Amino acid sequence: MNEKIFNILLSENINSFIKNIQLYLDSLNIKKYIIWEINNNIAIPYVKTIEEEIFFCDITDLGYQNIVCSDEPGLFSLSEGVDIYKSLFLVHNEILLMAISICEETSLKCKEFYDVAELLSTKLYELRVNESRTNMFIEYQKKIDFIKKASDILRSVEIENIVPKSLSFFMDIFESEAGVAIQNNESYLIGFSKEDMDKHIFIDGIPMTDFIETINKTEYIDSGISSEKFLINNLFVVYEPKIGLKVAIFNVKSSFYPDKEFSEIIAHITSIAVENAINHKNEVRLKLEEKEMNTTADILNRFVDKEISFVDDGIQIFGVSYPAKQTGGDFLGIHRENDNIIICLADVCGKGYSAAVITVAISTMFEQIKTQKTKTPSMFAENLTKFLLDKRLEGRFVTIFIGVISIKQKKMSYISLGHEPVFIINGDNVIKISSEYMPSGIILEEYIDSVVNLENNSSIFIYSDGLIEYIDYNNLEKILLLQQGDPETFIKNLYDSLVTDKSNQMDDFTCIKIDMKG
């Protein structure tokens, strides 16, 4: 086998394959020839040693008729001055891969070349497959690199890091030499300075800083750029209006340019990353606020006992205040002083933290009762109303029941300001104590205490409107008449039977039961 042909079969890639074919043709002293790349029956010159311009032709113009060699039928004319005298076709699995056309008269038959045409075709097919695999691998690596860089941007949670990373991303993808990214009046530069933008780079005579401010679309510019300091061939400006991002990169070399759609994909990735960072920042802020609110709720709840109990001198008292939310707007207080027991149950209009803050004020005022010489319900009601009116709480008001029970005298002085009716059960009889005053905080009235006598074995039941979310007054009265057991058992059973879904409690559940024994 001819050494030159043997070298063709040993070629490591398509370029060397073509080069070795040229060396073989040169060895035969063939001066005019064309080596064609075949793509979908279209022949495009790989190499040509003729001066005439030929861009492409159909394979039939080369004399191809599913044969290896066009030694017959003879002469083919591509164009004026370009004739084909012989052609060799490299075919694999009926697919034409390459053609070699000799464009000069020659008596040489290249018989040895034709004899190994099948081997050459197989070799070329293998090289094309390998090159295709290599190209696929390179494209795959490019995609992996793209995904890695995009993921790095998307994972960023600090906005001040996203824009510089995006600028670097743009420059890598478009093989740019320098660039600037501007977002929210913050500039990030690579390869030059802000002073260069102001004084040393001009587009159509306008300083680059001023020019970029006027840009409101993605635009490729390759004219009108001047600089005495830098050699700038082109400028690619990408605009992402959603986050007000502008990226300008110089001397784009990549085959991408000026691919606006692709650049907008990168800009969109940056936009998503910025939005994610903003959402992350807000989420962190909300979590901190939530933590602070939870701490606040815990502090506020410490001013209101969830459960209170008292057993002494033939009196049994038990009360609960279970808030519907983290904090409640109900207050429940009890204070024993000598022969008297002071009971207070208040319900602040509304829910949540604002209501809870007012319960803290009520709690503080209730604690002050211990230091006051006069401890009448009407005085407490007056002080509370004055306080709320003085603070101008924009329509906030409080329904409240205050009672002072005299154990020895078996009577209770009380006042109710807009509160739910209080039930007093004496055997089979039920007394309802209704309010005669407006809720505290609306208007200051002339408060006067009322008195009710208590019998042996009588019970007092005071509650907030949270109970009425679950049961009406008539059914509540029936349950009280059928009551059995101590106050704690009664109230806990009542809560469990009424509030079956504790996680979705409709309102604060607050009540207190006082049993007079003996």
Does residue 392 carry a pLDDT above 60?
yes
More confident residue, 3 or 421: 421
Residue 209 structural domain: 156-277
Quick check: is 282 in a domain?
no
Evaluate whether 478 touches 494 at the Cβ level (below 8 Å).
Answer: no
Task: Return the residue matching tokens 């024993």.
Answer: 336
Residue ending a domain, choose from 277, 292, 324: 277
* Same domain assignment for residues 325 and 266: no
Helices assigned H by DSSP within 103-191: 111-115, 117-155, 159-173
The answer to whether residue 288 is domain-embedded is no
Residue 234 lies in a domain: yes
What pLDDT, on a 0 to 100 scale, did the predictor assign at position 73? 42
Please check whether residue 139 lies inside any domain of the structure. no
Residue 138 included in any domain: no
> What is the end-to-end Cα distance of the chain in Å, rounded?
129
Question: What's the chain's average pLDDT?
Answer: 82
Q: Are residue 405 and residue 465 in the same domain, yes or no? A: yes
Q: Pseudo-torsion of CA 64, 67, 73, 75, nearest 10°?
A: 40
Question: CB count, 10 Å around CB of 393?
Answer: 18
Q: How many other β-carbons are positioned within 10 Å of the β-carbon of residue 228?
A: 8
CATH of the domain at 436: 3.60.40.10
Cis peptide before 73 (omega within 30 of 0): yes
**Beta partners for 437?**
417
Lookup: tokens for 363: 């709690």
**pLDDT band for position 72 (50/70/90)?**
very low
Query: Crossing angle for the helix pair 260-301 and 117-155, nearest 10 degrees?
Result: 30
For the beta sheet containing 235-240, the strands, ordered from the edge strand earlier in sequence to the opposite edge, are 186-190, 178-183, 245-250, 235-240, 219-221
Same domain, 484 and 362: yes
Angstrom distance (rounded) from CA 424 to CA 512: 12
Mean pLDDT of 8-12: 85
**CATH of residue 128:** 3.30.450.40
Residue (of 80, 78, 34) closest to 60 by Cα position: 78
Q: Is residue 89 part of a domain?
A: yes
pLDDT tens, residue by residue, 30-43: 888 888 888 878 88
Which amino acid would we find at residue 134?
T
Residues 324 and 455 in one domain: yes
Flag whether 369 is in a domain. Answer: yes
Structure tokens at 59: 């394979």
Nearest Cα to 267, choosing from 414, 134, 128, 167? 167
Same domain, 350 and 439: yes
Number of domains in the chain: 3
Q: Does a structural domain hold residue 283?
A: no
Question: Same domain for 425 and 483?
Answer: yes
Clarify whether residues 104 and 178 are in a common domain. no
Identify whether residues 163 and 54 lie together within a single domain: no
Query: To the nearest whole percent, how much of the chain has pLDDT over 70?
Result: 84
Kindly state whether residues 499 and 384 are assigned to the same domain: yes
**How many CB atoms are located within 10 Å of the residue 379 CB?**
16
Query: Quick one: angle between helices 260-301 and 352-368, nearest 10?
Result: 20
310 and 271, same structural domain?
A: no
Say if CB 357 and CB 296 are below 8 A apart. Answer: no
Same domain? For 341 and 461 the reply is yes
pLDDT value of residue 450: 95
State yes or no: pLDDT of 200 exceeds 70.
Answer: yes
Tokens (6 digits) for 498: 């009424």
In terms of domains, do 108 and 205 share one?
no
